[in-house]
Amino acid sequence: MTCELQTQPGAAGAARQGSVWDYVSPSRLSLWAKCPLAWRLRYLDGVESPTTPSLFVGKLCHAGLEVFYRHRQRGVTLAAEDVRERLDTIWNEAIDQEGQPFANTEEAAKAKGLTQNLVRAYLDQLPADEPGPLAVEAVFEAPLVDPATGEDLGIPLLGIVDVVFDAAEGPVVVDFKTAASAAEPAEVVHEIQLGSYAYLLRRSLGRTESEVQIRSLVKTRQPRVLVHRYAARTEAHFARLFALLREYVDALDARRFNYRPGWTCASCDFRETHCRQWSG
C-alpha cells in the first residue's frame, strides 16, 4: 500500500502546493463541484482571493486548537490562559505575514476578542477525560483506488485532518469549523470532506473510522460549541465520492470548466470581475 502520513509539527503548513494534476484535495473537489469556472480561476489561473475577516478568524481558531492538541499529543495540557497567550503571538505573526484583513483597529480588536472567546468556549466544554490525540493537523496522502472496482484514477488524494483520536471501536476523525449560526448542517453539505478523510484514514492506517465529527465553533454573541457526529462511511458513500472524482478527473483531461450560477455566487470573489468577462 502506498500512502503517506506526516504528523510532525508544521507538516500541514508544509503540505506541498502541487499543480492540479499532482493531487486532488477535498477543498479542490468541493470548489469544482460548486463551480468549475471558479475552480479554474483559483487553481489553474492562480487568481488570488483576499483573506476575508471571517476566514482569518476561522484560520486563527484552528491555529489555537492546533497548539492545544499538539501539546496534548505530548501529554501536556495547556491552561486556557496559556493558549490565549500563544494565540496572541500567532495572531500578530499572521497579520505580519498576510497583511491586515480588517478595515480598522476597532474591527481587528473585535475579531481578535471573538477568536479568543471561541477557542476559550471550546476548551471550557472539553471533557476532562478526553484522550490525547493520535494525530494533529496530519497530512494524509493516498492513491485514489475505487474500493468497489479497484480502478486506479491515476492521481492521489491529499487531505489535512485536524485531529484523529484513537478509540477501541475505531479512530475518530475530527474537523473543526467556525460557523455563523447554530443550525444543524445537512450531512450532504460535508459529504466530500467526510468521505475523503475516511478514505485517507483507512488507506493510511489500515483501520476503519468509528465516526467522523465536525466540531463547530459558533460565532454567536455567547460563543457555542456544537459537535456533529457522522457514522463510519459506507460503500454507498465511497461509490458517490468516486463517481464525483471520476467526473472531476475527466473534466481536467477535457479542460472543460463551465460556470455554474447558483446560490454560491453571492459570496464568490470572481462574480463582478472574471466571471462577468467569461464568455463560455
Q: How far is CA 209 from the centre of its chain?
A: 18
268 makes contact with ligand SF4 (CB under 6 A):
yes
217 makes contact with ligand SF4 (CB under 6 A):
no
Q: Which stretch binds ligand SF4 (CB under 6 A): 30-38, 80-88, 95-103, 183-191?
A: 30-38
Out of 6, 38, 98, 205, point to the residue binding ligand SF4 (CB under 6 A): 38
Q: 3-class DSSP state for residue 177?
A: strand
Asked whether 182 and 217 are in contact (CB, 8 A), the reply is no
| Phi, psi values for residue 169, rounded to 5° | -85, 0
The HSE-up count of residue 20 (CA atoms within 13 Å, CB side) is 22
Out of 5, 35, 164, 192, point to the residue binding ligand SF4 (CB under 6 A): 35
31 makes contact with ligand SF4 (CB under 6 A):
no
18 makes contact with ligand SF4 (CB under 6 A):
no
Of 234 and 273, the one with the shorter C-beta distance to ligand SF4 is 273
Of 11 and 275, the one with the shorter C-beta distance to ligand SF4 is 275
Instruction: Indicate the Cα dihedral angle 101, 174, 30, 4, nearest 10°.
Output: 100
264 makes contact with ligand SF4 (CB under 6 A):
yes
Out of 33, 153, 225, 265, point to the residue binding ligand SF4 (CB under 6 A): 265
Of 113-152, binders to ligand SF4 (CB under 6 A) are none
* Least Cβ distance, residue 31 to ligand SF4 (angstroms): 9
Q: How far apart are CA 209 and CA 198, in angstroms?
A: 6
Asked whether 227 and 184 are in contact (CB, 8 A), the reply is no
x-or-dash pattern for ligand SF4, window 243-262, by CB under 6 A? ----------------xxx-
Q: 3-class DSSP state for residue 243?
A: helix
Q: 3-class DSSP state for residue 179?
A: strand
DSSP at 114: H
Number of residues that bind ligand SF4 (CB under 6 A): 12
Which residues fall within 8 angstroms of residue 251, CB to CB, at 6 or more apart?
A: 32, 36, 257
37 makes contact with ligand SF4 (CB under 6 A):
yes
- Write out the residues near ligand SF4 by the rule CB under 6 A: 35, 37-38, 259-261, 264-265, 268, 270-271, 275
